[in-house]
């Protein structure tokens, strides 16, 4: 990386701005052969929603590659190079058949794995289709999302199943939102808890709940899956601890949008599981699931019907409002997209609130360089009942302020104690992990209250 551009020190001195520096290519460029693109290709990536694969082919783009996704009439999903191997016609105009997809131009038939099944215009003795294949990627369909593995075939990992994919009484509702900007400035928003105080609460209106406007004690920790933030807030006699997950390479889990810190609750899990998938260097897509389960929505605000293609059930996640309205009340979409098509890190002046963003960039840079050297990317080795433990949660505990004790220090200590329970210990590979964590949190709170009364 080149040196950071110096900031201006005098009023009315914009004329003295030097030329714009180059963006951080190592972290932002994703085309085939780029360092970041090759890293992210080592993970299963969601391509589209299952509901988008119907009678017609579905054109998609990922990592700068144009592809076609389809479901054959026999039910098998294929993700192929968009352009026919014969003369380059787009398979988005192909005919979906029992065994695969047939090009509209000269009727070549491609199986979901790229095998060429028919070349009808050739003589019967032609061996052409037996000597070549069309480009195709492995596919895995899971809970309403279609995934592809686009990395080296000999490095293909198992499809990972995380513990939040099967919460009792939970419904995983697929959705996606397309962003006309680079993937990283959308992904790293998950590690920027300070924006929840200002963007989502103080500068406009309470987009989620009033408690979000309380500036939290913030910390950040690495985990076996990547990293988390820890925010600990005082709300009345309660302390609300919230952690979002970064799951390497480009996955994230976000806690409950509508949490308000009013009622005690222990280790309530994910409200959103999502990937920030790069379409190309200047376009990306948030795609994943909204979670709907009883502890997720204390005020009965969530709306499953609003989740789907280019839509989700909370404010500011797309260009849906008018431009003037978005200027008056901007949301995540506006704040992230307006950082330029590719946010230029050398123009930033990071502060203490950006510790999580900086940590995420450091972790990604380390992982990208590992893969570039031929090493394997970091994945969690832990399993609990066959699933990979994750660390996203909202926990609200009753720990009132104590006379003569600095309350910010107390709130921070509570948050770190509960985070230690959430992240460390042998119970993370035991059956009933979440219940064990809740029991341990109850024991900790009981001991803290006992200490106070003593």
**Of the segments 5-19, 295-309, 379-393, which one has the largest average pLDDT value?**
379-393
Q: How confident is the model at residue 454 (pLDDT cuts 50, 70, 90)?
A: very low
How far is 269 from 248, CA to CA, in rounded Å?
A: 19
We report the CATH number of the domain holding residue 277 as 3.90.380.10
148 lies in the same domain as 187: no
Of the three residues 155, 172, 198, the one that is the final residue of a domain is 155
Sign of CA dihedral 91, 93, 94, 97: positive
pLDDT higher than 60, residue 450: no
178 lies in the same domain as 300: yes
pLDDT higher than 60, residue 54: yes
In a domain, 115, yes or no: yes
Single out the residue of 142, 154, 140, 151 nearest to residue 112, CA to CA.
Answer: 140
121 lies in the same domain as 137: yes
- Average pLDDT over the chain, rounded to an integer: 94
Q: At 356, which helix (H) or strand (E)?
A: helix 355-372
How far is 371 from 239, CA to CA, in rounded Å?
A: 41
Contact 399, 234 (CB under 8 A): no
DSSP label at 201?
A: I
In a domain, 27, yes or no: no
SS3 224: coil
Q: How confident is the model at residue 176 (pLDDT cuts 50, 70, 90)?
A: very high
> ∠ CA(365), CA(416), CA(429), 5° rounding?
75
pLDDT higher than 70, residue 452: no
Please give the backbone phi and psi of residue 388, each rounded to the nearest 5 degrees, phi first: -85, 125
Strand-by-strand arrangement of the 136-137 sheet: 58-62, 65-71, 77-81, 136-137
pLDDT higher than 80, residue 451: no
**Whose structure tokens read 């609460």?**
201
Of the three residues 108, 127, 155, the one that is the final residue of a domain is 155
Q: How confident is the model at residue 248 (pLDDT cuts 50, 70, 90)?
A: very high
User: What is the rounded end-to-end Cα distance, in angstroms, of the chain?
Assistant: 56
SS3 384: strand
β strands within 45-130, DSSP E: 45-49, 58-62, 65-71, 77-81, 95-96, 101-102, 109-110, 116-118
In a domain, 37, yes or no: no
Instruction: State pLDDT tens for residues 99-156.
Output: 999 999 999 999 999 999 999 989 888 888 889 999 999 999 999 999 999 999 999 9
Of the three residues 102, 132, 155, the one that is the final residue of a domain is 155
Instruction: State pLDDT tens for residues 197-222.
Output: 888 888 877 888 888 888 899 999 99
Six-digit token string for 160: 């990972």
Single out the residue of 436, 349, 430 nearest to residue 6, CA to CA.
Answer: 349
In this prediction, residue 125 carries a pLDDT of 85
Q: Region 344-353: what's the mean pLDDT?
A: 93
In this prediction, residue 17 carries a pLDDT of 83
Give percent of the chain with pLDDT exceeding 90. 81
In this prediction, residue 5 carries a pLDDT of 62
Contact 418, 442 (CB under 8 A): no
pLDDT higher than 80, residue 249: yes
180 lies in the same domain as 146: no
Following DSSP, what letter does each residue of 121-140 receive, concatenated? TS-TT--HHHH-B--EE-EE
Contact 68, 83 (CB under 8 A): no
Instruction: State pLDDT tens for residues 40-50.
Output: 999 999 999 99
258 lies in the same domain as 123: no
Alpha-carbon separation of residue 419 from 35, 55, 225, 236 (angstroms) = 33, 48, 15, 21
In this prediction, residue 186 carries a pLDDT of 98
In this prediction, residue 213 carries a pLDDT of 86
In this prediction, residue 2 carries a pLDDT of 46
pLDDT higher than 70, residue 3: no
Q: At 179, which helix (H) or strand (E)?
A: strand 171-179
pLDDT higher than 60, residue 195: yes
**From the CA atom positions of the chain, what is the Rg in Å?**
24
Instruction: State pLDDT tens for residues 367-409.
Output: 999 999 999 999 999 999 999 999 999 999 999 999 999 999 9
pLDDT higher than 60, residue 250: yes
In a domain, 28, yes or no: no
Six-digit token string for 437: 């964590």
66 lies in the same domain as 207: no
* pTM for this predicted structure: 0.94
Sign of CA dihedral 90, 96, 101, 104: negative
In this prediction, residue 1 carries a pLDDT of 47
Instruction: State pLDDT tens for residues 56-110.
Output: 999 999 999 999 999 999 999 999 999 999 999 999 999 999 999 999 999 999 9
Range of the domain at 86: 45-155
Q: Region 265-289: what's the mean pLDDT?
A: 97
In this prediction, residue 233 carries a pLDDT of 95
390 lies in the same domain as 325: yes
Instruction: State pLDDT tens for residues 312-335.
Output: 999 889 998 899 999 999 999 999
328 lies in the same domain as 383: yes
Number of domains in the chain: 2
């Amino acid at each position: 990386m080149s040196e950071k551009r110096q900031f201006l020190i005098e009023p009315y001195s914009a004329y003295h701005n030097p030329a714009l520096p180059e963006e951080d290519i190592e972290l932002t460029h994703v085309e085939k052969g780029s360092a970041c693109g090759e890293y992210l290709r080592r993970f299963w990536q969601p391509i589209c929603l299952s509901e988008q694969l119907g009678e017609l082919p579905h054109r998609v783009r990922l990592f700068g590659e144009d592809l076609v996704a389809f479901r054959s009439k026999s039910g098998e999903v294929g993700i192929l190079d968009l352009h026919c191997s014969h003369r380059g016609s787009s398979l988005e105009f192909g005919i979906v058949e029992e065994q695969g997809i047939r090009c509209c131009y000269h009727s070549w038939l491609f199986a979901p794995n790229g095998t060429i099944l028919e070349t009808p215009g050739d003589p019967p003795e032609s061996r052409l289709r037996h000597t070549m294949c069309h480009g195709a990627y492995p596919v895995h369909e899971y809970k309403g999302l279609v995934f592809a593995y686009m990395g080296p075939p000999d490095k293909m990992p198992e499809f990972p199943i995380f513990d939040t994919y099967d919460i009792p009484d939970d419904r995983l509702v697929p959705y996606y939102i397309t962003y006309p900007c680079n993937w990283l400035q959308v992904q790293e928003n998950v590690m920027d808890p300070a924006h929840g105080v200002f963007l989502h609460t103080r500068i406009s209106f309470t987009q989620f709940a009033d408690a979000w406007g309380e500036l939290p004690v913030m910390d950040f920790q690495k985990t076996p899956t990547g990293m988390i933030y820890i925010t600990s807030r005082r709300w009345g006699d309660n302390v609300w601890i919230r952690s979002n997950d970064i799951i390497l390479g480009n996955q994230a889990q976000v806690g409950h949008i509508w949490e308000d810190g009013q009622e005690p609750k222990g280790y309530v899990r994910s409200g959103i599981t999502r990937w920030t998938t790069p379409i190309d260097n200047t376009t990306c897509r948030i795609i994943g699931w909204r979670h709907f389960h009883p502890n997720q929505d204390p005020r009965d605000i969530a709306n499953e019907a609003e989740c789907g293609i280019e839509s989700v059930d909370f404010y500011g996640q797309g260009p849906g409002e008018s431009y003037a309205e978005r200027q008056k009340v901007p949301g995540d979409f506006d704040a992230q997209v307006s950082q330029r098509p590719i946010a230029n890190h050398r123009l930033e002046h990071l502060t203490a609130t950006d510790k999580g963003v900086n940590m995420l960039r450091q972790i990604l840079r380390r992982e990208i360089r590992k893969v570039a050297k031929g090493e394997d990317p970091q994945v969690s080795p832990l399993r609990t009942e066959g699933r990979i433990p994750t660390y996203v949660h909202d926990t609200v505990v009753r720990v009132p302020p104590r006379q003569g004790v600095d309350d910010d220090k107390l709130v921070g200590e509570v948050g770190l104690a509960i985070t230690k329970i959430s992240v460390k210990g042998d119970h993370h590979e035991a059956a009933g992990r979440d219940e064990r964590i809740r029991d341990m949190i109850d024991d900790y709170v009981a001991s803290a209250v006992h200490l106070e009364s003593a």
